[in-house]
């Protein structure tokens, strides 16, 4: 369900709910926790929502762009169009510039969807040298986010 989510990520609430229903049903198959509410089942299993895992996956993809894990000929669209020298010391050295969005067709595209969240991450997280270290730092930074067990919320962009 998470494969290729950076491309097809749902932005409508009803689509997110449809995806989350699959995980809801799967967690109900565990007889010992069947009686618990969905959030409680997720906490018991230490399993994040699909929505959280999708957002986390987006951040991992952006990190891969910056660390040249993908061929630069295919990823230049992100870095070329959104890179800008940033002299604001409150943001990190990998921050991206968000251009004005004129049409709804681009409003929910990958590049526009990830920019505010990526720019809100601290330097310590985005400067990770490997994908594995990024995952660990990102999980620590977002450890207390409501979205971890509640798919109806959003990441606050501030971490814990």
Cβ proximity of 112 and 101 under 8 Å: yes
For the stretch 88-101, pLDDT in tens is: 545 666 777 666 77
Cβ proximity of 70 and 64 under 8 Å: yes
**Sole residue written with tokens 């730092």:** 137
Higher-confidence position of 142 and 90: 142
Q: Which of the four pLDDT bands, split at 50, 70 and 90, describes residue 134?
A: very high
Higher-confidence position of 22 and 100: 22
What is the pTM for the complete model shown? Answer: 0.78
**Mean pLDDT of the region 131-145:** 93
**Mean pLDDT of the region 57-64:** 88
Q: Rounded to an integer, what distance in angstroms lies between the CA atom of residue 95 and that of residue 93?
A: 6
Q: Which of the four pLDDT bands, split at 50, 70 and 90, describes residue 10?
A: confident
Cβ proximity of 39 and 51 under 8 Å: no
């Amino acid at each position: 369900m998470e494969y290729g989510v950076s491309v097809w990520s749902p932005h409508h609430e009803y689509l997110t709910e449809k995806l989350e229903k699959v995980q809801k049903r799967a967690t109900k198959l565990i007889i010992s926790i069947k009686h618990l509410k969905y959030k409680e089942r997720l906490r018991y299993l230490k399993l994040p929502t699909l929505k959280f895992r999708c957002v986390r996956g987006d951040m991992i993809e952006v990190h891969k762009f910056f660390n040249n894990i993908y061929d630069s000929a295919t990823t230049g669209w992100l870095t070329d169009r959104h890179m800008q020298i940033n002299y604001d010391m409150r943001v990190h050295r990998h921050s991206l510039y968000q251009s004005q969005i004129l049409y709804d067709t681009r409003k929910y595209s990958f590049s526009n969807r990830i920019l505010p969240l990526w720019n809100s991450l601290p330097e310590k997280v985005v400067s990770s040298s490997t994908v594995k270290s990024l995952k660990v730092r990102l999980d620590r930074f977002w450890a207390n986010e409501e979205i971890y067990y509640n798919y109806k919320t959003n990441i606050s962009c501030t971490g814990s």
